[in-house]
Structure 1
């Protein structure tokens, strides 16, 4: 074989070997990449998360992921996957869960689509404003902007200067993210209360002895504090509305307790019922000046659509159920009170 032929044969063998090597490398790289894309990231524990801040580059996000113990994937592989998923340049600011089982694909899709980690805060029916603010101060990772504000300054910040804060935030569960503030959450709760109050007032029964939706809110807060039994709310609302029509005092303990503020020690005495405050419905006619608690939609519905009946009194059954006995006359009511005391003493001892 001539020298030229030998050189040609050698080149062919070289090109064949090179192609095989390139193919083998390409297969290895593809296999590595596909294995990386959908393999769970190591070192993740329940409760971990990744925060993407405004202005973060992809490299910075990846470095933050490395700092949390994730070692899978070369930066080139992450970049390639980001382009493949059309996430390059589209990662959204927020906090993302890093639960065990998270893969590079699921993480990048979440960051591309802004599927941020969310938290929940529940305003409980019957809370007063002090309880609401105390619970809100403990909500994490909600950013706190109201801690140094008194109630008046808080309402001014919310755009409602001069408005009393009691009863102005709808009990509901509110979803928020790491970048949200307590002020924004309260703003949503205030708007939700306004919407629910407007709807209840617009659909109210005719001939209610209430002059405004604000009066409906005040009465609803009393109903909210008087019972936790949903089907009793319209009955209790009916009792109070009939009393208002007749000019009778409401004589409801929760308003007295609210008026006592921090001096209330858990036991309401006769002397407390006689001590006059703007909220003492034993010593004053009509409704108290403001709501006394946060009001749910069911209580609003109860006062705008009260149950029919002729009862003017009610007292707890005394069996621990939370239910009440409703009476038309004072004599019937006094008998029900005696029965309540008897049952209470039988269960708990002398009162």
Structure 2
């Protein structure tokens, strides 16, 4: 009887031991693989192209990405992460992310795309800087491509008008995408944007899509209000048809490479630069800024009228007064010049 009682106690102890061990293993497995693991408040974790495995693992620890780096390392070994490799990319982090999911994302390359939106870009350098900030490649890599004449010709442009290929919009592109592939993505969007309807309207104006965009950049430079763009576009198209100089102040500012100019003076008008439309007839060789979709469509759907002169309104509302003759234009211009003097705006 005593022997049976001893056996029962032994069995109970063994059972309890197995239970404790099982709970311990289960608990360890849970925290190693299934429990929320992310400790940082950073929104993304970035893995560079060709970054060594050991360096990535070291950064996960040193940057405090996970709560327990030892458990993360054990999980990584169990899931053969070193063997399968870590894919470069921009990985979304959240407080409910487990080691298992995080490791699975790293090994499979399940990254979040960058929602890249741009508008109101003045120069190639500005655009390259924005690209370098949002993507893995630096701004110089992008600037070299934007200035690459052979690349421009590949897409049907030249070095002067290549900037018109980039249509301001929102693009979803992976962070580690090769710079040339990023440019190619913009080219595909450009081809979709210039559909049959827009091409037909450009042809009716006897302009190429690139020339429409160059004119649109001037319209954008002049207009503070989108609703006035078609009227301004109609004015410049009237001047082109008549063989007149465009005499667009934004082109003079661009030609002088001084974007602090608030009052265009005679000294600014004499610069010998093909972008100075006070001296050179027709459209300049390229855009003076990245045209917006609104400004491109304003040229294609221009307002029909007889105006060939315009001047900013003296109330500084951003709107313009339009005229069909020099005498009327001079009256408008004197009003604006008087308003500038009243505000002591001399340059």
TM-score band, normalised by the shorter chain? Answer: 0.7 to 0.9
Aligned: 1:155 with 2:152: no
Change (3 A) 1:197 1:294: farther
Contact 1:234–1:307 (8 Å) recurs in 2: yes
What displacement does 1:224 show? Answer: 1.9
Which residue of the partner structure matches residue 126 of structure 2?
Answer: 131
Q: Distance in 1 between matches of 2:200 and 2:141?
A: 35
Aligned: 1:188 with 2:182: no
Which residue of the partner structure matches residue 16 of structure 1?
Answer: 12
Aligned: 1:319 with 2:300: no
Corresponding pairs, count: 339
CA-atom RMSD, angstroms?
4.0
Contact 1:129–1:167 (8 Å) recurs in 2: no
Q: 1:116 aligns with which of 89, 111, 115?
A: 111
Contact 1:250–1:285 (8 Å) recurs in 2: yes
Aligned: 1:49 with 2:62: no
Q: Distance in 1 between matches of 2:138 and 2:345?
A: 48
Change (3 A) 1:76 1:286: closer
TM-score (norm. length: structure 1): 0.76
Q: Deviations over 1:130-187 (max 9, x none)?
A: 43335445556434563784865x2324634854334332233444444234443333
SS at 1:335 equivalent: helix
Superposed counterparts of 1:1-351, under 5 Å: 6=3, 10-34=6-30, 39-41=35-37, 43-46=39-42, 49=45, 51=47, 65-69=60-64, 70=66, 72=68, 74=71, 78=75, 92-98=87-93, 102-104=97-99, 107-108=102-103, 110-111=105-106, 114-119=109-114, 121-137=116-132, 141-143=136-138, 146=141, 149=144, 152=147, 154-157=148-151, 159-160=154-155, 162-164=158-160, 165-198=162-195, 201-204=198-201, 207-208=204-205, 210-261=206-257, 266=261, 268-348=264-344
Q: Pick which of 232-241 and 319-328 moved more.
A: 319-328
Give the unaligned 5+ runs of structure 1.
none
Contact 2:173–2:182 (8 Å) recurs in 1: yes
Q: Distance in 1 between matches of 2:105 and 2:343?
A: 56
SS at 2:141 equivalent: coil
Contact 1:128–1:294 (8 Å) recurs in 2: yes
SS at 2:342 equivalent: helix
What displacement does 1:82 show? Answer: 5.9
Q: Distance in 2 between matches of 1:336 and 1:68?
A: 62
Structure number with greater Rg is 1
What displacement does 1:102 show? Answer: 4.3
TM-score (norm. length: structure 2): 0.77
SS at 1:315 equivalent: strand
SS at 2:165 equivalent: coil
Q: Deviations over 1:81-134 (max 9, x none)?
A: 969xxxx96975423244556443553464466442554554433513243335
What displacement does 1:301 show? Answer: 0.8
Q: Decide which structure has greater helix share.
A: 2
What displacement does 1:229 show? Answer: 1.5
Q: Distance in 2 between matches of 1:237 and 1:321?
A: 19
